[in-house]
A and B are shown apart, each in its own frame.
Chain A
Amino acid sequence: MTWIGVHFALREPVRFGLTGCGLACAVVLMVFLTGVYEGGVSGSLSYIADTDADVWVGRPGSWNLMRSSGILPGSVGERLREVEGVESVEPILAALLPAVVGQLRRSLLVIGLEDTARSARPRRVLDGLAVPGIGEIVIDRAFAMRAGVGLADTIALAGYPLAVAGITDDTNLLVTQYAFVSRLDLLGAVGLGDGATFFLVRTESADGAGLAATIEQQVGGVAAYDRATFLANNREELESGFLPVLWVIAVLGLVVGVSIVSIMTYTAVLDKRQDYVLLAAIGAGRAVRFSIVMQQALLAAIVGSLAGLGFLAALHRSLPVMVPELPLRVEPWIGATAVAGALLMAAIGAVFPGRVATQLTPLEALRR
């Protein structure tokens, strides 16, 4: 095995750098989008996953938290408590409401909590309270940064002034953020009497699926989901909006990356045509010449993807300050997948130039 391809690559720093930059950009694009997606998913699902509710009960058709508008009457809570195996029942009210801070207007996914909320309270509290009292609001870190508000500052929620009582983390849904208020405040804000979007039910036996089935049978007019199913429902809701876009951009990134590698490697083969011809004349077979081209592309992929990941590591630190709403979350598997993706792009991109190198005739070495 000769590593002449590495020499070819490293001793043509401009071309190699451009190829690496192109791949770095493709990697940054893919990792950034995947990281934002993962951050959004995490922010969306962490609240649900962190609750200790075993069963979520809502109106039929209300199968996820983010896009549910159905309201159950408060009396359903009493009926739920009568179901055998139910340990506790907590109502929550969810609504997408406008929040105004100075000139800033944002829509927040507001969860109305009982003042005794245990299951439904947010778990990742950075500062202040988890459960707001009357006239208070608990907001997400990203929204707090964007609005420039802290504890005791005032936010107008659907026209109602509320004091910030707590700041939470991992409650950023990317397109909006969670906020938590007293259920009574929220009932007033949305103009409802006694009602709940969901009841969070804890079981005595921890058999959520069994209890969910029992509730649907005994209570009637409700849909009940065990926690795993409810989480999956919410993930599906997110994915139906995010993933198609993400896939299109990922494919575009792949096409751009492959094109860059292909063009740059092809020009490198043309530029070094005489070298490949010489190699053929002195006994480098087709496989060796192909591998020389492939080495150049793969090296560019390794260097480019590492550079891209380095750039993202730097961005990861500064992004929360620059754009707090972007919940970038880069897990090791995303980085590893991006490197693998860059290698794949390089391998695909090098196929055509590699074939060109193999098809050069050694006879050219004698042509003048």
Chain B
Amino acid sequence: MKDLTAVRLRAVSKVYAGSAPIRALENVSLDITAGTLSLFEGPSGSGKTTLLSLIGGLDRPTNGHVTVFGAELGNLPERELVKYRQTQLGFVFQDFKLIDVLTALENVALALRLRGMRRRAALARARLVLEVLGVGSRCDSRPRDLSGGEQQRVAVARALAPQPRLILADEPTANLDSMTGTDVMEALKGVTHHRSTTVIVVSHDARIAPHADRVFRLLDGRLVENLTREAA
């Protein structure tokens, strides 16, 4: 039987060393099914972003196992982690993180170029994705000339363009008005349906929960709730 689990965490803990060590995550275990949108919510300091960084291969757990699409990230060497981020992941950040010397089109194409796509093909694909997300007319604009909503759409386009299997979104609606936030979430939700992409969102924003197939609540580094959409 085919394993539908995209992300599996087993007894994951993360401690930041220092004079006063911080236990950011403690004994977290969970499964995330492929092709679903999962929301992690919780107050500041609850461990949401740490969780995202572990699933994204940006950091390694102190204890436990993080497995994504069958690959145990803790065992992967740096080079393989880079390849994992390059080929399997798309990131969406709260502050968009667009490169301001590049146009919207170039920002999106960059993610494709890093995967080895030729320039012309990358630009064509980037233009298509920007058009699908409703910002096709802003291809040649620099980020500073775009509204917050447009910037986030471009950032989503950058995450979606390479057709990753997993998208990690860190507070994607925090800097957006209600309507734009909804549009962004619908775009993310759309890829779970159309491409079976798995989307993990970390957010404080209560408006996101209705878009989620599963909601995880974190508190002080512990997983305290694990709800399906109906229950959430």
Point out the residues of chain B lying under 8 angstroms from A362, CB to CB: 58, 85
Instruction: Flag whether A193 is at the interface (Cβ < 8 A).
Output: no
* Cross-chain contact A366 with B114 (CB below 8 angstroms): no
Point out the residues of chain A lying under 8 angstroms from B90, CB to CB: 282
Question: A284 CA to B83 CA in the complex, in Å?
Answer: 9
Question: A7 CA to B95 CA in the complex, in Å?
Answer: 22
Interface flags, A256-289, vs B, CB<8A=1, else 0: 0000000000000000001100110111111010
The SS class assigned to the A binding surface is helix
Other-chain contact of A365, B97, B100, B115 (Cβ < 8 Å): B97
Nearest CB in chain B: distance from A192 CB, A: 75
Enumerate B107-132 residues with CB–CB distance to A below 8 Å. Answer: 110-111, 113-115
Instruction: Tell me which of B49-57, B183-191, B222-230 binds A.
Output: B49-57
**Number of residues of chain B lying within 8 A (CB) of chain A:** 31
Interface size range on A against B: 20 to 34
Instruction: Flag whether A363 is at the interface (Cβ < 8 A).
Output: yes
From known contacts A2-B114, A281-B58, A282-B114, infer whether A366 and B170 are also in contact, taking CB-CB under 8 Å: yes
Enumerate A1-30 residues with CB–CB distance to B below 8 Å. Answer: 2, 4, 7-8, 11-12
Point out the residues of chain A lying under 8 angstroms from B53, CB to CB: 363, 366
Other-chain contact of B58, A12, A275, A288, A365 (Cβ < 8 Å): A365
Point out the residues of chain A lying under 8 angstroms from B79, CB to CB: 285
Question: A344 CA to B86 CA in the complex, in Å?
Answer: 32
Enumerate A341-364 residues with CB–CB distance to B below 8 Å. Answer: 361-363
* Cross-chain contact B94 with A368 (CB below 8 angstroms): yes
From known contacts A12-B101, A368-B94, infer whether A363 and B82 are also in contact, taking CB-CB under 8 Å: no
Instruction: Flag whether B69 is at the interface (Cβ < 8 A).
Output: no
* Cross-chain contact A285 with B91 (CB below 8 angstroms): no
| Least CB separation from A7: chain B residue | B101
* Cross-chain contact B82 with A278 (CB below 8 angstroms): no
From known contacts A7-B101, A7-B106, A366-B58, infer whether A283 and B115 are also in contact, taking CB-CB under 8 Å: yes
* Cross-chain contact B56 with A281 (CB below 8 angstroms): yes
Point out the residues of chain B lying under 8 angstroms from A4, CB to CB: 99, 102, 110
Question: A12 CA to B99 CA in the complex, in Å?
Answer: 13
Question: A44 CA to B86 CA in the complex, in Å?
Answer: 63
* Cross-chain contact B58 with A11 (CB below 8 angstroms): no
Interface of A with B (CB < 8 Å)? 2, 4, 7-8, 11-12, 274-275, 278-279, 281-286, 288, 361-363, 365-366, 368
Q: A4-B110, A282-B111, A285-B82 are in contact. List 14 more A-B contacts (CB 8 A).
A: A2-B110, A8-B101, A275-B99, A278-B97, A278-B99, A281-B56, A281-B58, A281-B91, A283-B83, A365-B58, A366-B49, A366-B58, A366-B93, A368-B95
Which 9 A-B pairs rank lowest in CB-CB distance, beginning with the nearest? Answer: A283-B86, A11-B101, A285-B82, A283-B85, A278-B97, A363-B58, A2-B113, A362-B58, A275-B99
Sample of 15 A–B contacts (CB below 8 Å): A7-B102, A11-B101, A282-B111, A283-B82, A283-B86, A283-B89, A283-B114, A284-B114, A286-B82, A362-B58, A362-B85, A365-B91, A366-B53, A366-B170, A368-B95
Interface of B with A (CB < 8 Å)? 49, 52-53, 56, 58-59, 79, 82-83, 85-87, 89-91, 93-95, 97, 99-102, 106, 110-111, 113-115, 158, 170
